[in-house]
Amino acid sequence: MPPYQPAPRSPSRKGASMSRYTAAEIEPKWQKAWEEAGVFTATREGGKPKYYVLEMFPYPSGRIHIGHVRNYTMGDVIARYKLSTGHNVLHPMGFDAFGMPAENAAMANGGHPKDWTYSNIDTMVSQMKPLGFGLDWSRMFATCDPEYYGQQQALFLDFLEKGLVYRKNAVVNWDPVDMTVLANEQVENGRGWRSGAVVERKELTQWFFKISDFSDDLLSALDGLDNWPAKVKTMQANWIGKSRGLQFSWDLTEAHEGFEQIEVYTTRPDTLMGASFVGISPDHPLAKALEAKDPKVAEFCLEARKGGTTEEAIETAEKLGYDTGLTVSHPLDPDWKLPVWIANFILMDYGTGAIFGVPAHDERDNEFATKYGLPITPVFEPVEGDYPAKGAFVPPKPDRVRFTRPVAGAEVMTGNEAIDAAVEFCEGKGIGEGVTKFRLRDWGLSRQRYWGCPIPVVHCPECGVVPEKKENLPVQLPYDEGGKPIDFSVPGNPLDRHPTWRDCACPACGAPAQRETDTMDTFVDSSWYFARFTSPRAETPIDMAEAEYWMNVDQYIGGIEHAILHLLYSRFFARAMNETGHLPQKSREPFDALFTQGMVTHAIYQTEGKGGRPVYHYPEEVELREGKGFLKDGREVEIVPSAKMSKSKNNVVDPVAIIDQYGADTARWFVLSDSPPERDVEWTAAGAEAASKHLARVYRLAAELADAPANEAEDGALLRETHKAIHDVTGGIESFGFNAAIAKLYAFTNTIAKSKAGSAAKAEALKVLAQLMSPMTPHLAEEIWTLLGGEGLIAHADWPVADPALLVEDTVTLPIQVNGKRRGEISVPKDMDKAEVEKLALEVENVKRTLDGAQPKKVIVVPGRIVNVVI
């Protein structure tokens, strides 16, 4: 509903009625005008340059939250600005609509994920529309629309044909009580969130995208992403993790179960002489062979597989090891025997699933060796200073160290030199080979869940795994089971136990077969939606002509929390789509510029519930007194400050109340002011009032503009200030300095309010003010524009351009420092020469007093900036 603003309780005594900016009337009026004029409908007409601005689309959690408002307002500022600088703008919106919360809701409250999701989408659209975003709503879709996920299935089939999809085993979190797969989020301290059972790692056959085919490309192409934040590129580069090292084998002293060797990969072959043990993953084939024969090994492996699958859980778990009793001989000294341990911290997914431990130069190996009494043998020491008293000595690779037990090379060299020398030496000796490896793993896309895009393949007893025919797409999710609503309260995947949905004919031979019951990771859905927005109703994944015109995304905006996964997967998808003929070559990198906005955070209020698990309370339920929080029943809550707003933590702030009370423009102005867009902001409702007052003041300045004669000096001064404001605000918008742009708009408003210029000059200044504000507060801007006789819609007006001649100042104020401390200032012509500035600076009373007769050693004059007198 449109917001409501109360009228003043009594009219002003001064006769002239007070002008009110009434958001409730003004905002719907202009929204209707924009819609009727089709201002934000993206078209390819007019031979104008195109601009595609996109904000990461939301998950339909049920209500929009303040983080959405911040995100979409930023995008809207860019969209409206680009529109007024002569672009065809594409600014679409949709919903990332598959995912676990819908199933969780069905589990907790009954109902169906589909109904829950579409109802949430309706609510959120109705909450977003009053905000007046310049979006092309005609392009909207949800990823759970069969029209969308059907095309996604078509992409999957093309990827499959191209060899970009394959099946292999991978581990999942297994809840042994509920007999179901858990998401990492559903594992709390190594236990299932519902059953409380200790989670185990279990292997399943799953589908994978071959993102590793693109490791090198995804890494090296980061260099070309000039308009991406450096931190995101660094994070992605580290994630891809290109490394050079040595891959070689340790010979088992005695062959065991058909194993004669253990292959390892190391990035530090120069430390080979410091090896103390060989470690293998509990999931290593040798460990499995031993496990099958020896109950003690089986017991250890079972223990080692407990806890979640996350890297964090594995890395921070207590280091556990089991001495297999097997030994290997050292490749450089066959008489040197080392023990083979199974260790819980070795990942089967990385390298070869086996390592050799060098406790002197690796913290983790050190901890392990110390715990199990294994030898710790240094191979190098610092060139200067002492060897650390405890723990491992791990200098950065570019640092020079002195080798005491070298593999090859000079006595003193850098780690990098030593690694190169060791690789060369070992290769010469026939011990393994230097290889390049990547940390990046293939993307497992199978999910054992209902509410996702079905994987369009069929399992045939005769033909094996067969792709579904394209003409049979979409493979749709069933709504019911056997005429009854699906029961989501039963753990596990409803598709898997559905009585009829699985049954089908083999697309190849026609024999009775069964559908794949796994669905796709929701990251798949969000990896190509940006491309679909260019032709959302096409009968193929995209329409090439549309993609040629609209791609790439000129400006992508979203949360820093997506720095790695979503953005990396999208970059992969763009490449894969290009190679399967679904995107032009230029779109292999789909996002030309990226801006990562900070998150809106809010404290979490929690109390302890059953079994020690936390219960989260909404901000509305908590009363704050002296820094402590209390529930209505008097219980104190624990306050976790500044956490990401998350539906599961109940710390999401709803902006609807602010919109209702003050209107959309106030909410938009408010989320942009004060905080730099890239920084996290702790939400506080104080300040919305101030934003509202300011907008009302701007409106009054225009509405109550009194007749005044022209005044040459004052009019000229105001004109110069106007052009400075144009310059500063435009620069602020283009550089995402929205808070700085708003500060300038405050200052410019104050300037106009205080100016003694004539009414004609003031009206011109106010019209420019309206234009400069129009991307942020578009409704108010239209109203003022009309009030002051502006032609047409401000949304259609050309952006004002600053006249450089009006921006230059004739005189500047120079601060005078003595030894770096400010002692005075002088006002001088802008281009006064250095010698003269120096002379004037030394005559300043306070400077003379500070010098106290001392002769300056040096005087530094930075023209137009500062003078520093050094004594």
Applying the rule CB under 7 A, the residues between 11 and 30 that interact with RNA are 13, 18
Structural contact between residues 167 and 465, judged by C-beta atoms closer than 8 angstroms: yes
**Complex with RNA: residue 80 or 447, whichever CB lies closer:** 447
**Complex with RNA: residue 35 or 809, whichever CB lies closer:** 809
> Which one among 65, 91, 447, 668 touches RNA, defined by CB under 7 A?
447
> Which one among 71, 281, 352, 446 touches RNA, defined by CB under 7 A?
446
Segment near RNA (CB under 7 A); pick from 33-41, 290-298, 415-423, 669-677: 669-677
Structural contact between residues 606 and 638, judged by C-beta atoms closer than 8 angstroms: yes
**Complex with RNA: residue 418 or 847, whichever CB lies closer:** 847
Contacts with 804 (C-beta within 8 Å, 6 or more apart), sequence order = none
**Complex with RNA: residue 28 or 113, whichever CB lies closer:** 113
> Which one among 33, 622, 640, 806 touches RNA, defined by CB under 7 A?
640
Residue 230 is a binding residue for RNA (CB under 7 A): yes
> Which one among 109, 585, 813, 855 touches RNA, defined by CB under 7 A?
813
> What amino acid occupies position 744?
K
Residue 522 is a binding residue for RNA (CB under 7 A): yes
What is the contact mask toward RNA in residues 563 to 592, using x (rule: CB under 7 A)? xxxx--------------------------
**Complex with RNA: residue 191 or 562, whichever CB lies closer:** 562
Q: Let me know the angle formed at the C-alpha of 28 by 27 and 33, rounded to the nearest 5 degrees.
A: 100
Q: CB 267: neighbour CB atoms within 10 A? A: 15
Residues binding RNA: what is the number (CB under 7 A)?
110
Give kind and range of the element (H or E) at residue 182: strand 180-182
**Complex with RNA: residue 155 or 793, whichever CB lies closer:** 155
- Is the backbone peptide bond immediately before 474 cis, with ω within 30 degrees of 0? yes
CB of 178 to RNA, least distance (A): 13
Cα-Cα-Cα-Cα dihedral sign, residues 482, 484, 485, 490: negative
CA distances from 261 to 52, 249, 273, 692 (A): 56, 6, 19, 73
**Complex with RNA: residue 185 or 734, whichever CB lies closer:** 185
CB of 691 to RNA, least distance (A): 7
CB of 105 to RNA, least distance (A): 12
Binding to RNA (CB under 7 A) within 312-331 occurs at 312, 315-316
Residue 65 is a binding residue for RNA (CB under 7 A): no
What is the contact mask toward RNA in residues 257 to 296, using x (rule: CB under 7 A)? ----------------------------------------
What is the contact mask toward RNA in residues 190 to 219, using x (rule: CB under 7 A)? --------------x-x-------------
CB of 279 to RNA, least distance (A): 15
Segment near RNA (CB under 7 A); pick from 191-199, 370-378, 488-496, 859-867: 859-867
DSSP structural state of residue 289: H
| Core vs surface per residue 582-593: b (16+ CB within 10 A) or e | bbbeebbbbbbb
Burial of 113 from C-beta contacts in 10 A (0-12 / 13-18 / 19+): buried
Binding to RNA (CB under 7 A) within 531-560 occurs at 560
Segment near RNA (CB under 7 A); pick from 532-540, 624-632, 759-767, 809-817: 809-817
> Which one among 319, 330, 405, 439 touches RNA, defined by CB under 7 A?
439
Of 673, 692, 687, 671, which is closest to residue 744 (Cα–Cα)? 673
> Which one among 681, 726, 729, 828 touches RNA, defined by CB under 7 A?
681
Residue 179 is a binding residue for RNA (CB under 7 A): no
> Which one among 43, 189, 238, 540 touches RNA, defined by CB under 7 A?
238
Phi, psi of 126, rounded to the nearest 5 degrees = -70, -20
d(CA 218, CA 228): 14
Task: Give the E-state strand segments of 582-726 in sequence order.
Answer: 594-597, 600-608, 614-617, 623-625, 628-630, 636-644, 681-682
Token duo for residue 302: 């079972």
Residue 697 is a binding residue for RNA (CB under 7 A): yes
Binding to RNA (CB under 7 A) within 820-849 occurs at 820-822, 825, 846, 849
d(CA 403, CA 274): 11
Q: Let me know the angle formed at the C-alpha of 691 by 688 and 696, rounded to the nearest 5 degrees.
A: 125
d(CA 90, CA 501): 39
